[in-house]
C-alpha cells in the first residue's frame, strides 16, 4: 500500500513543510531531496498519499501539506529523535544546577524548555500523590492557631493555617509533632489516610480533639491539592509562530489548569515520550497545536510530567530530543537534592 518511496516522499513533505511553512509541490521536492525520480512520479505518489489521508492541499493547485495523520506516521515511523548537541547539554546542566529549591527548579525548567524548543513549555510540580512525607511540622502561631507544614521528599512544601478548637500548650504540640512524624516519616502520601488513623490512639486523651482537627486539615490538604500544580511559560513563542488565528483559544487553554493537566496526559513509561498531534488532543481549542510530553522522576518512579506545546507544524525530532533531555536532567537534579 505504502511502499518505501511513498514513505520517503511523505517524510520529505513533512520536513520541507516544517522548515518553509509553505505547501510543498512536486517540483520542489524533486529538487531538494534526491529521490531519484521525476516530479511526475512524485505527483503520483502524492495522489496516493492524499487518497489515504496523509496529506492534503489547502486549495486546488497548491502544494501539499501534511495532515495530522501524516504527522502521526512521520513521528511513529519516519523520524528519529534528535539528540541535543553537547553544548546544549552543558547549558541545561549548569542552568538547572543553579536552582536552590523546588520552586526554582520548576521555574528554570520552564524557561529552559521554552528557550530550547522555542515553544510554550509546561511543567507539572512533582505530584503530591506520588511523593512521600519527609517531615511534618506544626508551628504555633497564636494560642488557638497553628500552621501545619508538610514537606515531601521531592522538596515540595504545603502549608495551611489551622484554627484549633481549644488552646494547647507548646509541649503538647511538640509531642503531637513527634508522634505524627514517627508515624508518617517516609510514608507515601497515598498511604497517609490509613496511616494517620492510628495517631489518636498514641496520644493522651486530652489531646485528641486538637489532633483530630489538625489531621482533618492534613487530609483535606492532600485531597484538595490532588489537583496538581502546573506552570507554563514561553507564550511569546506563540506569537512568533504564524499562529495569530486561534491564539486566543490557545492562551485560554493554557490558563485552564484542568485542561493543561489532561494535556500532559497519563503516564507512559518514565522516559516514554508522548506526542499528541492536533485533533488527537482532548481540547477543541487546541486543534492546531501538538503536545510533546514526557514523564520525569528520580530513580525509576515517575513523579510528574513536563512538555511543550506548539503548532502541529513543528520540528518533532528536535522537540522530542529537547523534551527527553530536559526530563532526564530534571530527574537527576531532583534525585540529588
157 or 261: CB nearest a copy of itself = 157
Q: Applying CB under 8 A, does 63 fall inside the site for a copy of itself?
A: no
Distance of CA 228 to the CA centre of its chain: 11
Question: Choosing among a copy of itself, DNA, none, which partner's interface includes residue 279 (Cβ < 5 to 8 Å by kind)?
Answer: none
- For position 251 contacting DNA by CB under 7 A, the verdict is no
Pairwise CA distance, residues 167 & 337, whole Å:
38
Can residue 11 be called a binding residue for DNA (CB under 7 A)?
A: no
Q: Return the bridge partners of 293, or none.
A: 274, 307
Instruction: Classify burial at 15, counting beta carbons within 10 Å of its beta carbon; exposed 0-12, middle 13-18, buried 19 or more.
Output: buried
DSSP state, residue 2: -
Strand 273-277 and strand 133-142: pairing?
unpaired
CB of 72 to a copy of itself, least distance (A): 28
Answer yes or no whether residue 143 interacts with a copy of itself by CB under 8 A: no
What angle is formed at CA 67 by the lines to CA 72 and CA 284, rounded to 5 degrees? 90
Q: Which of residues 58-97 bind DNA (CB under 7 A)?
A: 59-64
Smallest gap from residue 67 Cβ to DNA (A): 14
User: Can residue 274 be called a binding residue for DNA (CB under 7 A)?
Assistant: no
Q: Is 169 in the site for a copy of itself (CB under 8 A)?
A: no
> Binding to a copy of itself by residue 48, rule CB under 8 A?
no
| The C-alpha cell that represents 232 in the structure block | 507554563
Cβ proximity of 162 and 214 under 8 Å: yes
Rg of the Cα trace of the chain?
Answer: 26
Smallest distance from a copy of itself to CB 3, Å: 44
Pick from 32, 50, 99, 188 the residue near DNA by CB under 7 A. Answer: 50
Task: Compute CA distances 285 → 250, 263, 313, whole Å.
Answer: 6, 12, 16
Residues that bind a copy of itself (CB under 8 A): 100-101, 134-135, 137, 139-141, 147, 149, 151, 155, 157, 159-161, 224, 233-236, 238-240, 244, 247-248, 251-252, 254-255, 337
Amino acid at each position: 500500500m505504502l511502499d518505501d518511496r511513498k514513505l520517503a516522499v511523505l517524510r520529505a513533505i513533512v520536513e520541507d513543510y516544517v522548515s518553509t511553512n509553505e505547501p510543498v509541490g512536486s517540483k520542489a521536492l524533486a529538487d531538494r531531496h534526491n529521490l531519484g525520480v521525476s516530479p511526475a512520479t512524485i505527483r503520483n505518489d502524492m495522489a496516493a498519499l492524499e487518497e489515504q489521508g496523509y496529506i492534503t492541499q489547502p486549495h486546488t493547485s497548491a502544494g501539499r501539506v501534511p495532515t495530522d495523520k501524516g504527522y502521526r506516521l512521520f513521528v511513529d515511523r519516519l523520524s528519529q529523535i534528535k539528540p541535543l548537541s553537547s553544548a546544549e547539554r552543558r547549558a541545561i546542566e549548569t542552568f538547572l544546577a543553579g536552582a536552590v529549591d523546588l520552586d526554582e527548579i520548576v521555574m528554570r525548567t520552564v524557561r529552559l524548555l521554552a528557550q530550547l524548543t522555542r515553544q510554550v513549555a509546561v511543567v507539572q510540580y512533582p505530584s503530591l500523590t506520588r511523593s512521600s512525607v519527609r517531615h511534618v511540622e506544626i508551628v504555633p502561631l497564636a494560642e488557638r492557631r497553628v500552621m501545619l507544614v508538610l514537606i515531601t521528599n521531592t522538596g515540595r512544601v504545603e502549608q495551611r493555617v489551622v484554627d484549633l478548637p481549644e488552646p494547647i500548650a507548646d509541649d503538647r504540640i511538640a509531642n503531637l509533632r513527634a508522634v505524627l512524624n514517627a508515624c508518617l516519616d517516609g510514608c507515601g502520601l497515598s498511604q497517609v489516610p490509613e496511616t494517620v488513623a492510628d495517631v489518636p490512639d498514641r496520644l493522651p486523651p486530652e489531646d485528641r480533639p486538637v489532633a483530630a482537627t489538625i489531621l482533618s486539615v492534613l487530609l483535606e490538604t492532600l485531597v484538595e491539592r490532588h489537583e496538581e500544580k502546573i506552570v507554563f511559560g514561553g507564550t511569546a513563542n506563540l506569537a512568533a509562530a504564524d499562529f495569530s488565528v486561534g491564539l486566543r483559544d490557545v492562551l485560554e487553554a493554557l490558563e485552564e489548569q484542568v485542561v493543561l493537566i489532561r494535556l500532559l496526559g497519563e503516564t507512559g513509561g518514565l522516559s516514554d515520550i508522548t506526542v499528541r498531534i492536533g485533533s488527537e488532543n482532548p481540547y477543541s481549542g487546541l486543534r492546531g497545536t501538538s503536545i510533546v510530553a514526557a514523564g520525569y522522576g528520580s530513580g525509576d518512579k515517575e513523579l510528574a510530567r513536563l512538555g511543550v506545546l506548539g503548532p502541529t507544524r513543528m520540528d518533532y525530532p528536535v522537540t522530542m530530543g529537547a523534551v527527553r533531555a530536559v526530563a532526564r536532567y530534571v530527574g537527576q537534579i531532583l534525585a540529588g537534592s
